[in-house]
């Protein structure tokens, strides 16, 4: 595969076992071009730990993947850069794009698999690109759904084995019709507001989620919302504290908020918390983290393929986030794209 031409993507490619990159650039064989794995690294993730750990991983990665691919590593320089890197890699026919970092990096890489609301297509006819993950971030919640330890060496072994499954991707759409994508959990109101504040304190590690929750509770009010599930009739949902739409199970640094979600079943899990007070979270926190909260008073769950959410009385200040990233405010539509991406598992 030709090296990615855009110098702003800071891409470095290595043909393992040979120092002559010019020969790799000129190689005409399509099969050779399909052997490039692009590793998208957020060097500033987890307070700089991601970049340091990545350097330590490289010798092992080279050893494990020497017979599988050419390694292309690309370092992000700021917000949304991973989206651009991923799109460029897919267009150039990369066999895989691997997110190296936390859920934020994975979120951007997943969005790079799409363009103008549709799956991105390679310039090489019939070429498809797989998604991989080496969890090195603050939360790594998506990895938890698969029961993976936060061990990058295990992740490299999974990628080397080459086993893949198709996973679903969630789509989120606002009033303008522009689509954004999520692979983990999207959420509304208190939890989304807490996530917004938590993102400002990531230097404190997982403690950022506690700080975010404390700030979000200040002045919080439960609100009446309306929802339309699977294109049915509008329903009233009163005194909503938080509403979570899960493609996977965990968010907020290990909280199993949508415990029956499965990113391979073609559905989203909708969990609604109603009329919770601040002390309810303290009392029931262990159940929220353990995923045993669905039987708690004020908690409901159902499986959906799409859901529209709006305020009963328009205020415009109900937060919405996806995969821990602030998206905007209600009204919003969520839907599922079954089997949208091949994923190393």
Which residues are known to be catalytic? 103
Of 141, 64, 154, 53, residue with least CA distance to 100: 53
Q: What is the 3-state secondary structure (H, E, C) of the chain?
A: CCCCCCHHHCEEEECCCCCCHHHHHHCCCHHHHCCEEEEEECCCCCCCHHHHHHHHHHHHHHHHHCCCCEEEEEECCCCCHHHHHHHHHHHCCCCEEEEEECHHHHHHHHHHCEECCEECCCCCCCCCCEEEEEECCCCCHHHHHCCCCCCHHHHHHHHHHCCEEEEEEEEEECCCCCEEEECCEEEEEHHHHHHHHHHHHHHHCCHHHHHHHHHHHCCCCCEEEEEEECCCCEEEEEEEEEEEEECCCCECCCECCCCCCCCCCCCEEEEEEECCCHHHHHHHHHHHHHCCHHHCCCEEEEEECEEEEEECCCCCCCEEEECCEEEEECCEEEEEEEEEEEEEC
Q: Provide φ and ψ at 92, rounded to 5°.
A: -85, 5
């Amino acid at each position: 595969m030709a090296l990615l031409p855009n110098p702003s993507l800071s891409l470095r490619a290595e043909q393992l076992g040979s120092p002559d990159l010019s020969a790799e650039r000129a190689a005409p064989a399509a099969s050779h071009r399909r052997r490039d794995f692009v590793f998208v690294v957020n060097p500033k993730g987890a307070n700089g730990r991601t970049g340091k750990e990545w350097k330590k991983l490289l010798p092992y990665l080279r050893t494990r993947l020497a017979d599988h691919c050419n390694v292309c590593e690309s370092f992000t320089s700021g917000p949304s850069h991973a989206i651009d890197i991923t799109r460029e890699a897919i267009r150039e026919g990369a066999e895989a794009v691997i997110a190296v970092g936390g859920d934020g990096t994975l979120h951007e890489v997943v969005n790079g698999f799409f363009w103008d609301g549709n799956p991105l297509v390679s310039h090489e006819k019939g070429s498809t690109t797989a998604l991989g993950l080496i969890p090195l971030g603050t939360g790594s919640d998506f990895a938890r759904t698969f029961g993976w330890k936060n061990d990058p060496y295990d992740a490299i072994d999974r990628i080397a084995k080459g086993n893949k499954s198709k996973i679903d991707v969630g789509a989120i759409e606002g009033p303008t019709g522009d689509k954004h994508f999520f692979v983990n959990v999207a959420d509304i109101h208190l939890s989304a507001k807490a996530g917004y504040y938590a993102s400002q304190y990531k230097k404190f590690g997982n403690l950022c989620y506690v700080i975010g929750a404390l700030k979000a509770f200040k002045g919080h009010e439960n609100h009446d919302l309306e929802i339309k599930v699977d294109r049915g009739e509008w329903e009233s949902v009163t005194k909503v504290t938080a509403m979570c739409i899960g493609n996977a199970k965990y968010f907020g640094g290990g909280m199993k908020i949508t415990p029956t979600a499965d990113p391979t079943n073609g559905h989203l899990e909708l969990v609604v918390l109603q009329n919770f007070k601040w002390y309810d979270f303290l009392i029931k926190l262990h159940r929220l983290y353990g995923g045993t909260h669905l039987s708690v008073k004020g908690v409901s769950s159902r499986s959906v393929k799409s859901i529209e959410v709006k305020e009963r009385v328009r205020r415009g200040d109900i937060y919405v986030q996806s995969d821990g990233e602030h998206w905007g405010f209600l009204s919003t539509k969520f839907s599922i794209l079954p089997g949208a991406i091949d994923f190393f598992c």
